[in-house]
Amino acid sequence: MVGSFEFDVELRTVTGKGDARRTRLLGKVPAIVYGGDAAPVQLNLNHNRVVKALENDATYSHVLTLKYDGKEEKVILKALQRHPSRPIIMHMDFQRVNEKDKLRVHVPLHFVNQEGSVGVKKGGVVSHAMVEVEVACLPQHLPEFIEVDMSSVDVGESIHLSGLSLPQGVEIVALSHGPEHDLPVAAIHASRTSEEGA
């Protein structure tokens, strides 16, 4: 599992649009690493390796290791640019990670016990208002995902951000802006057919 979060990369000495195009033709993804006390560094990653890693959701919300020039850098994936119509990764942005500094990362939500929830058993339908949530935490506390347990949600009820069960050391960024940002994450609605039958 850990291997999927490590990338052997190479330094990119020439930059610019022409070079980026040539890089992609060679089956590589141009990228940049920034943040911390060091200067930004331009890199190339193996395209096929990147595509395979991105099949794992955790790559988007995990501390990754970039190996180049005889050293390793801990980073998180901050931005990803895809080709609008072809299955090509155009560019990647990585941010350096400092173990003492809190990160702000979008983490996927995993919904569990939907089929067995109180509301679904009554014929209700689940709707998701969010599929990910922005969290703040130290790198060692970064979760791969946050679980949303739907088991006790009834028809007409919803789970809000404040109702999520968070791992230790993890905060939801939106909630730090005040109670009006306590948005719904998922809800169970009466289905049209059950309403018509009522």
Q: What structural domains and CATH numbers belong to the chain? A: 2-96 (2.40.240.10), 103-197 (2.170.120.20)
Beta-strand runs (E) in the chain: 6-8, 10-11, 28-34, 41-46, 64-68, 71-82, 89-96, 103-112, 124-128, 132-137, 146-149, 158-160, 171-172, 184-190
Q: What is the pLDDT along the chain (198 residues), one digit of tens a residue?
A: 334 589 999 988 776 677 778 888 889 999 999 998 889 999 999 999 999 998 888 888 889 999 998 889 999 999 999 999 988 999 999 999 988 889 998 999 999 999 999 999 999 999 999 999 999 999 989 998 999 999 999 999 999 999 999 999 999 999 999 999 999 999 999 987 644 444
- Token pair recorded at residue 55: 């099949």
Contact by Cβ (8 Å): 56, 49: no
Nearest alpha-carbon partner for 5 in 79, 59, 72: 59
Q: What is residue 25's predicted lDDT score, i.e. its pLDDT?
A: 85
3-state secondary structure of 116: coil
What b-and-e string marks burial along 53-74, b requiring 16 or more CB atoms within 10 Å of the CB?
Answer: bbeeebbbbbbbbbebeeeebb
Contact by Cβ (8 Å): 145, 58: yes
Q: What is residue 97's predicted lDDT score, i.e. its pLDDT?
A: 93
Rounded to two decimals, the pTM is 0.76
Q: What is residue 82's predicted lDDT score, i.e. its pLDDT?
A: 93
Task: Quote the Cα angle for 158-164-168, to 5°.
Answer: 175
